[in-house]
Amino acid sequence: MSSEPVKRCTVDEILELRWRVLRPGRPIESARYEQDVLPETRHWAYRDAEARVVGCVTVQRTPFPGADGPGWQLRGMAVDEDLQGMGIGGDVLVSAVREVAEPIWCNARERAIPFYASHGWTIVSEMFDIPDVGPHKRMVWSP
Ligand SMILES: CC(C)(COP(=O)(O)OP(=O)(O)OC[C@H]1O[C@@H](n2cnc3c(N)ncnc32)[C@H](O)[C@@H]1OP(=O)(O)O)[C@@H](O)C(=O)NCCC(=O)NCCS
Protein backbone atom coordinates (compact mmCIF):
# COMPACT_ATOMS: atom_id res chain seq x y z
CA MET A 1 0.00 0.00 0.00
CA SER A 2 1.26 3.52 -0.68
CA SER A 3 2.33 5.75 2.21
CA GLU A 4 -0.66 8.08 1.84
CA PRO A 5 -3.41 5.82 0.54
CA VAL A 6 -6.42 8.05 1.37
CA LYS A 7 -6.91 11.17 -0.75
CA ARG A 8 -9.72 13.51 -1.78
CA CYS A 9 -11.10 12.67 -5.21
CA THR A 10 -14.04 13.17 -7.57
CA VAL A 11 -17.22 11.12 -7.45
CA ASP A 12 -16.37 9.57 -10.80
CA GLU A 13 -13.26 7.99 -9.29
CA ILE A 14 -15.28 6.12 -6.61
CA LEU A 15 -18.66 5.52 -8.23
CA GLU A 16 -17.82 2.05 -9.55
CA LEU A 17 -16.65 0.83 -6.12
CA ARG A 18 -19.64 2.41 -4.34
CA TRP A 19 -21.95 0.74 -6.85
CA ARG A 20 -20.28 -2.69 -6.62
CA VAL A 21 -20.26 -2.80 -2.81
CA LEU A 22 -23.43 -0.91 -1.87
CA ARG A 23 -25.82 -1.29 -4.83
CA PRO A 24 -24.93 -4.67 -6.38
CA GLY A 25 -27.33 -5.93 -8.99
CA ARG A 26 -28.78 -2.51 -9.67
CA PRO A 27 -27.96 0.04 -12.37
CA ILE A 28 -24.79 2.03 -11.70
CA GLU A 29 -26.80 5.25 -11.74
CA SER A 30 -28.58 4.02 -8.58
CA ALA A 31 -25.27 4.55 -6.76
CA ARG A 32 -25.24 8.29 -7.49
CA TYR A 33 -26.44 10.73 -4.82
CA GLU A 34 -28.15 13.98 -5.80
CA GLN A 35 -25.63 15.85 -3.66
CA ASP A 36 -22.56 14.22 -5.27
CA VAL A 37 -21.89 17.18 -7.51
CA LEU A 38 -22.58 19.99 -5.02
CA PRO A 39 -19.50 22.12 -4.33
CA GLU A 40 -19.43 21.35 -0.59
CA THR A 41 -19.69 17.58 -1.03
CA ARG A 42 -16.36 15.81 -0.44
CA HIS A 43 -15.21 12.40 -1.61
CA TRP A 44 -12.22 10.31 -0.50
CA ALA A 45 -10.61 7.27 -2.10
CA TYR A 46 -8.20 4.69 -0.72
CA ARG A 47 -5.86 3.45 -3.46
CA ASP A 48 -3.82 0.27 -3.28
CA ALA A 49 -0.23 -0.07 -4.50
CA GLU A 50 -1.48 -0.38 -8.09
CA ALA A 51 -3.55 2.80 -7.66
CA ARG A 52 -6.83 0.88 -7.79
CA VAL A 53 -9.61 2.43 -5.72
CA VAL A 54 -10.44 -0.12 -3.00
CA GLY A 55 -12.07 2.10 -0.36
CA CYS A 56 -14.27 5.19 -0.47
CA VAL A 57 -16.53 7.53 1.43
CA THR A 58 -18.52 10.73 0.81
CA VAL A 59 -19.50 13.57 3.17
CA GLN A 60 -22.23 16.00 2.15
CA ARG A 61 -23.90 19.06 3.68
CA THR A 62 -27.20 17.72 5.07
CA PRO A 63 -28.75 18.83 8.37
CA PHE A 64 -29.23 16.18 11.04
CA PRO A 65 -32.78 14.90 10.43
CA GLY A 66 -35.26 17.01 12.37
CA ALA A 67 -32.70 19.69 13.25
CA ASP A 68 -32.22 23.17 11.89
CA GLY A 69 -28.93 24.56 10.77
CA PRO A 70 -25.99 23.09 8.93
CA GLY A 71 -24.86 19.51 9.30
CA TRP A 72 -22.66 16.92 7.61
CA GLN A 73 -23.82 13.46 6.52
CA LEU A 74 -21.39 10.63 5.84
CA ARG A 75 -22.49 8.25 3.05
CA GLY A 76 -21.19 5.67 0.63
CA MET A 77 -18.71 4.03 3.03
CA ALA A 78 -17.40 1.03 1.10
CA VAL A 79 -14.40 -1.28 0.86
CA ASP A 80 -13.75 -3.83 -1.90
CA GLU A 81 -15.30 -7.11 -0.80
CA ASP A 82 -11.99 -9.02 -1.01
CA LEU A 83 -10.23 -6.52 1.26
CA GLN A 84 -12.78 -5.96 4.02
CA GLY A 85 -11.69 -6.39 7.64
CA MET A 86 -8.09 -5.30 6.99
CA GLY A 87 -8.26 -1.74 8.29
CA ILE A 88 -8.90 0.05 4.98
CA GLY A 89 -12.37 1.28 5.95
CA GLY A 90 -11.01 2.56 9.26
CA ASP A 91 -8.29 4.54 7.46
CA VAL A 92 -10.85 6.09 5.11
CA LEU A 93 -13.28 6.95 7.91
CA VAL A 94 -10.62 8.50 10.13
CA SER A 95 -9.18 10.60 7.28
CA ALA A 96 -12.62 11.94 6.36
CA VAL A 97 -13.81 12.86 9.85
CA ARG A 98 -10.46 14.46 10.72
CA GLU A 99 -10.64 16.65 7.66
CA VAL A 100 -14.26 17.67 8.25
CA ALA A 101 -13.54 18.21 11.98
CA GLU A 102 -17.21 19.04 12.74
CA PRO A 103 -20.11 16.87 13.96
CA ILE A 104 -21.17 14.29 11.36
CA TRP A 105 -24.10 11.86 11.22
CA CYS A 106 -24.78 8.74 9.20
CA ASN A 107 -27.37 6.01 8.71
CA ALA A 108 -25.34 2.91 9.60
CA ARG A 109 -26.25 -0.47 8.17
CA GLU A 110 -26.88 -2.93 10.99
CA ARG A 111 -23.78 -4.96 10.14
CA ALA A 112 -21.55 -1.86 10.04
CA ILE A 113 -22.66 -0.45 13.42
CA PRO A 114 -19.73 -2.06 15.33
CA PHE A 115 -17.31 -0.59 12.75
CA TYR A 116 -18.53 2.98 13.38
CA ALA A 117 -18.75 2.37 17.15
CA SER A 118 -15.11 1.27 17.21
CA HIS A 119 -14.20 4.68 15.74
CA GLY A 120 -16.08 6.66 18.39
CA TRP A 121 -19.48 6.99 16.72
CA THR A 122 -22.58 6.87 18.96
CA ILE A 123 -26.00 5.37 18.22
CA VAL A 124 -28.78 7.99 18.42
CA SER A 125 -31.84 6.15 17.07
CA GLU A 126 -33.76 2.92 17.18
CA MET A 127 -33.41 0.53 14.26
CA PHE A 128 -35.28 1.68 11.15
CA ASP A 129 -35.64 0.28 7.66
CA ILE A 130 -34.36 1.87 4.47
CA PRO A 131 -36.33 0.31 1.60
CA ASP A 132 -34.22 -1.94 -0.67
CA VAL A 133 -31.19 -1.59 1.66
CA GLY A 134 -32.23 -2.94 5.07
CA PRO A 135 -32.10 -2.11 8.79
CA HIS A 136 -30.08 0.90 9.96
CA LYS A 137 -29.41 2.98 13.06
CA ARG A 138 -28.51 6.65 12.97
CA MET A 139 -25.08 7.37 14.45
CA VAL A 140 -23.13 10.55 15.17
CA TRP A 141 -19.49 11.53 15.57
CA SER A 142 -18.06 14.72 17.07
CA PRO A 143 -14.48 15.97 17.17
C1 LIG B 1 -18.18 -1.46 6.70
C2 LIG B 1 -16.85 -1.35 5.94
C3 LIG B 1 -16.78 0.00 5.20
C4 LIG B 1 -15.71 -1.41 6.96
O5 LIG B 1 -14.47 -1.34 6.29
P6 LIG B 1 -13.37 -2.49 6.57
O7 LIG B 1 -12.15 -2.11 5.86
O8 LIG B 1 -13.99 -3.80 6.23
O9 LIG B 1 -13.25 -2.40 8.16
P10 LIG B 1 -11.93 -2.30 9.05
O11 LIG B 1 -11.03 -3.43 8.66
O12 LIG B 1 -11.37 -0.93 9.05
O13 LIG B 1 -12.57 -2.55 10.47
C14 LIG B 1 -12.99 -3.85 10.84
C15 LIG B 1 -14.40 -3.81 11.36
O16 LIG B 1 -15.33 -3.54 10.32
C17 LIG B 1 -16.51 -4.31 10.51
N18 LIG B 1 -16.66 -5.13 9.30
C19 LIG B 1 -15.79 -5.99 8.74
N20 LIG B 1 -16.30 -6.52 7.62
C21 LIG B 1 -17.54 -5.97 7.48
C22 LIG B 1 -18.55 -6.10 6.50
N23 LIG B 1 -18.45 -6.93 5.46
N24 LIG B 1 -19.66 -5.37 6.64
C25 LIG B 1 -19.82 -4.54 7.68
N26 LIG B 1 -18.88 -4.37 8.65
C27 LIG B 1 -17.75 -5.08 8.53
C28 LIG B 1 -16.32 -5.13 11.74
O29 LIG B 1 -16.88 -4.40 12.83
C30 LIG B 1 -14.81 -5.18 11.89
O31 LIG B 1 -14.42 -5.30 13.22
P32 LIG B 1 -13.88 -6.74 13.72
O33 LIG B 1 -12.74 -7.05 12.80
O34 LIG B 1 -13.48 -6.45 15.13
O35 LIG B 1 -15.04 -7.65 13.57
C36 LIG B 1 -16.67 -2.51 4.91
O37 LIG B 1 -16.61 -3.74 5.59
C38 LIG B 1 -17.75 -2.57 3.86
O39 LIG B 1 -17.61 -1.97 2.79
N40 LIG B 1 -18.83 -3.33 4.13
C41 LIG B 1 -19.92 -3.50 3.20
C42 LIG B 1 -20.65 -2.18 2.90
C43 LIG B 1 -21.16 -1.49 4.16
O44 LIG B 1 -21.80 -2.10 5.00
N45 LIG B 1 -20.86 -0.18 4.24
C46 LIG B 1 -21.32 0.66 5.35
C47 LIG B 1 -22.65 1.24 5.02
S48 LIG B 1 -23.32 2.17 6.40
Residue-by-residue pLDDT tens, the chain, 143 positions? 456 899 999 999 999 999 999 999 999 999 999 999 999 999 999 999 999 999 999 999 999 998 887 899 999 999 999 999 999 999 999 999 999 999 999 999 999 999 999 999 999 999 999 998 899 999 999 99
Ligand 1 site, residue 76, Cβ cutoff 6 A: no
The Å distance, Cα 15 to ligand 1 centre, comes to 19
Q: Is the pTM of this model over 0.85?
A: yes
CB-based contact 80:17 (threshold 8 Å): yes
Q: Are 113 and 123 in contact (CB under 8 A)?
A: yes
CB of 19 closer than 6 A to ligand 1?
no
Fold annotation for 6-101: Aminopeptidase (3.40.630)
- Short-list 102, 77, 8, CA closest to 47: 8
Q: How far apart are CA 90 and CA 115, in angstroms?
A: 8
> Ligand 1: which atom is nearest the Cα of residue 111?
25
For the chain, the domains span 6-101
Residue type, 83: L
